[in-house]
Amino acid sequence: MGKPTGFLDYKRLDNECTAPLERIKNFNEFHDVLSLDDRKKQGARCMNCGVPFCQSGIMLGGMATGCPLHNLIPEWNDEIFRNNWRQAAARLLKTNNFPEFTGRVCPALCEAACTCGMNDDSVTVKDNELAIIENAYNEGFIKANPPKVRTGKKVAVIGSGPSGLAVADQLNRRGHNVTVYEKDDRAGGLLMYGIPNMKLDKKVVERKLNIMKEEGIEFITGVDVGKDKKPAELVKDYDAVVLCCGAGNPRDLKVEGRNTDGVYFAVDFLKLNTKSLLDSGFKDKKYIDPKGKNVVVVGGGDTGNDCVGTAIRHGCKSVIQLEMMPMPPKERTESNPWPQFPRVLKTDYGQQEAIAVFGNDPRVYQTTVKEIIADKNGKLKAVKTVMLDTGRNEIEGSEKIIDADIMIIAAGFLGCQTYIPKAFGVEINARSNIKTEDGRFATNVSKVFAAGDMHRGQSLVVWAIAEGRECAKEIDEYLMGYTNMI
C-alpha cells in the first residue's frame, strides 16, 4: 500500500460526464478522464485490505459481490499510485482479457464490496481499471503477441460475444488454432450490437478484435451455425467446439394486442440502431425511429435504460419506463448490509437524460402493461397499464391509458435460442440454458462445450468473461491432458 492514509487524505473523484442536454446530441461516449495526478490519488485511496472483498467474486444474499474475475485490484491500485503504469497493466491483464470493455459497462461489483464503502465512498476501481488499459494503449504497451508455438489443435467458437472472445483469446494464447463463427455481419456479439455506442464505442471493440486477428484468431462472420453450417461438420473438423451464443430468447408479454404494429423487443431496437449508425450514420433509415413519438419501455433494468437513452437521442416526444418492482430505497437497508451488492435506487444515464429533457424521472414503479391498444389500421396508439401490489397482484381500479407510438419490451431473457443446442444434440436444463455438470463446461456431446449466458443464463459481461476463461481451461485440459492456464 503506497499511502496508508490515502483513504483518509483523498475523497472519491469520479470521471466527469458531459451534461445530459449536450451528450444527447450524438451517440458518442460522454465520460472525460481524470489527469494522471488525480488518478494517482484515487489509486492511493485503496486500503490494500487484509481480506480484499473487492476481488472475491462470491455470492452473498443471493447476489454476486466482488469481481468474478478476481482482478488483483489492490495490486494495480498501488501501481497507479507509484506511477508504474506498465506494471499496472500487466497485473490487470493477468486476470481480465478485456478491461477496455468492463471498464466501461461493468456495474462494478468490486466497488460494492470495497471496504472503504463501509463508512465512506468506495474506491473508483472501475475508473482506475479503464485508466490503466487506455493508458496502456496510448503508451503502446498493447500490441499483438501471437503464440510462438502452435499445438496443432483446432477449436471452433460459436458466438463472438464476451464469453466467446474470452475462450478464443485464452486458447489462442495457449497455441491452439481458433476460429470464431458469428451469425451477424460484425464480430463482437453483445458488445457490438447489444450495448449502445454511447456506452461502449464500437471503435473500442474493433480495436481489440483487430489485435486478436493479428494474434492468429480467425473470425468468420455472417454464418449462422445450426442454419447456414451443419454442426456435424464442425464436430468432425475441429478438436473441440464451444457454444457461446448468449441468452438470446427475449421474455415476451402475454397481453391482449401483443401483435400490434409498433411493439418491438429491446434487442431488435438496439441492434438495428447500432447497425444503422455504423453502416451509414442513420442515413439508410434501417432502424426503428422514435423521433417525435411517444415511447413506452417495459423493463426497468440496464437494457431498458439503454432504450430510454437511445430514444431520447433520436428526439422522441416522450418516454416512460415501466417497472414491475417497487422503487428501491435510496440507501442500504439493514437487510442489505455491506459487502452485499447494494439494492438501492440507481439513476442511470438514460434516466438522467429524461429528467433533463422532460423534467421528470421516466420510471413508473409497480406497474405493468395490461393491454396494447391499436388504431383502426392496426398500429399502436396506446397502452393500458395497471399497478401491482408487492405480491405482483393487480390493484383494482388502477388502470391508466398512456399514449404510445412505440413500445419496447426490455423484460430480460429466457435462456438461449433453442435451435442451436437442438442442432448439436446437447441437453438444456429447466431454465433453457445448456446443461452441464455443476462447475463444468463440457456438454453431453463429445468435444462440445458451452460458456457464457448460453450456459449460465442472462448475466453481466464480466461474468461472461469469467465463464470463458474457466471454460478455456477445461478445453485445454481436454485437448492436452493438462493445463497451465491461470
Whether the pLDDT of residue 63 is over 90: the answer is no
Could you give the angle at the alpha carbon of 286 between the alpha carbons of 282 and 292, nearest 5°?
70
Smallest CA-to-CA distance from 361 within 328, 405, 408, 394 is with: 328
Whether the pLDDT of residue 399 is over 70: the answer is yes
CA–CA gap between residue 195 and residue 235 (Å, rounded): 31
Handedness of CA 156, 160, 161, 166 (dihedral sign): positive
Residues of the chain with CATH 1.10.1060.10: 6-138
pLDDT of residue 333: 93
Grid coordinates in use for 408?
419496447
Chain segment 275-310, per-residue pLDDT in tens: 999 999 999 999 999 999 999 999 999 999 999 999
What share of residues in the chain are helix, strand, coil (percent, to 5)?
35, 15, 50
- What are the start-end ranges of the H helices in 122-261? 125-138, 162-174, 202-214, 231-237
pLDDT of residue 1: 66
- What are the start-end ranges of the H helices in 25-71? 36-44
Residues of the chain with CATH 3.50.50.60: 154-248+414-480, 263-409
What is the dotted CATH code of the domain comprising 6-138? Answer: 1.10.1060.10
Q: Which residue has the higher pLDDT, 59 or 166?
A: 166
pLDDT of residue 119: 86
What is the full DSSP assignment across 175-212? T-EEEEEESSSSTTTIIIIIS-TTTS-HHHHHHHHHHH
What residues contact residue 354 under an 8 Å CB cut-off, 6+ apart? 308, 312, 319, 321, 360, 361, 362
What is the dotted CATH code of the domain comprising 154-248+414-480? Answer: 3.50.50.60
Chain segment 344-373, per-residue pLDDT in tens: 999 999 999 999 999 999 999 999 999 999
What is the dotted CATH code of the domain comprising 263-409? Answer: 3.50.50.60
Where do we find the cell 503477441?
145
Provide the 8-state DSSP code for 33. P
Grid coordinates in use for 364?
413508473
pTM of the model: 0.96
